[in-house]
Amino acid sequence: MELSFYSKYPFTRGAKELMSSAKVRDEFQLMGIAKRRVVDAIGKGKIPLMSVELDDSQLLLQVASYAVSRMIVSLLKSRYYVNRYAIAEAKRASSYMASDSDENVLSVARELGVECEIDNYYSVSFQDYLRYAPKSVDYKLVNRRLSRGRVMLRRDEFVRILEEAVKLKIESELPLKTEGIPADINEAAEEVRRSIPKEPQPVAVSIENGEFAPCMKKLLEDLKTVENLSHTARWALAVYMLNIGMKVDEVVKLFSTSPDFDESVTRYQVEHAAKRGYKTPSCASMDSYGLCVSNCGVKSPLAYRRGVFGKSPAKHD
Ligand code: SF4
């Protein structure tokens, strides 16, 4: 593989092997690029793509900066930062794959253990699909075309599956052991810490015993444990919170612990849901989204609340 491939996909085995033998000449520049990479990933949720005019020594710096970034992120000692970093790295790789050759995209897929066939459609095995498909209605298996145990995908959908696989790979490999990391990288990590937003603290939502429907309680717990919720799950939780009387600002804040939180997008969606007066999805819909976790014998998560406490579903202060 060429250096340009490794610079786009530095999480691959080949890139790692390259770094074990390559020598970066300008360590000061390397540290600068690595710090920027982490600050952009955690602070902005996005790592800018490389300029197209890089020579080999600059491409090598890009590969090396990934290795140093992983050490910096590990030194921050936060699962939230690790997840946010992994999301940004996965998005970066996804942007490259979107316009890369099939040959390169398939090489990335093989690295990630995702086996793909191309024949009019891109197809992946049922198991890989279940493991890596985004948890949204569009990707629900019932909405997909299946053939001989394989799931048919458009190219952009296949790339989206790989993006998730990249994210999970990076998350699973971090944090690294921090003993023995050189002092200059420790200093870089402290600099990065001063340049990134503080880790958001979970909003205290008092969940009286049994007050919240089990499905909503589970979503709230997933938010606190920094799980990335699907778009549908977020929407259902946001609408439910609005329906029980939470204010827009409070609902937005509730989502701030999510590693891919984007305040303006979240605010827009929550305000939109509040303005349109959306109703909490029924239990049947929750079930079809894969979000029902119990058999409560009610028709709606709001009815569960009413049934247990006799509370009005729309108590506005
Ligand atoms: S039955 Fe309804 S209220 Fe109970 S967990 Fe499922 S969706 Fe939620």
Domain boundaries, the chain: 3-195, 214-309
Q: What is the 275 CA–ligand 1 centroid distance (Å)?
A: 25
212, 243, 292, 308, best to mutate for ligand 1 pocket (most atoms within 8 Å of CB): 292
The whole model's pTM is what?
0.78
The CATH code of the domain at 3-195 is: 1.20.930
Q: Give the highest mean pLDDT range of 43-52, 98-107, 210-219, 254-263.
A: 98-107
Distance CA 297, CA 304 (A): 8
Q: What is the 255 CA–ligand 1 centroid distance (Å)?
A: 21
Share of the chain above pLDDT 70, in %: 91
pLDDT level of residue 27 (50, 70, 90 thresholds): confident
Helix spans in 76-154 (H) = 79-99, 102-111, 126-132
Distance CA 123, CA 119 (A): 8
Measure Cα distances from 218 to 179, 227, 240 in Å.
Answer: 36, 11, 13
What was the pLDDT predicted at 239?
94
Measure Cα distances from 298 to 237, 284, 303 in Å.
Answer: 17, 10, 6
Residue nearest to atom 2 of ligand 1 (CA): 283
Residue nearest to atom 3 of ligand 1 (CA): 301
Measure Cα distances from 261 to 79, 147, 195 in Å.
Answer: 15, 36, 18
Residue nearest to atom 6 of ligand 1 (CA): 292
Q: What is the 296 CA–ligand 1 centroid distance (Å)?
A: 6
211, 218, 283, best to mutate for ligand 1 pocket (most atoms within 8 Å of CB): 283
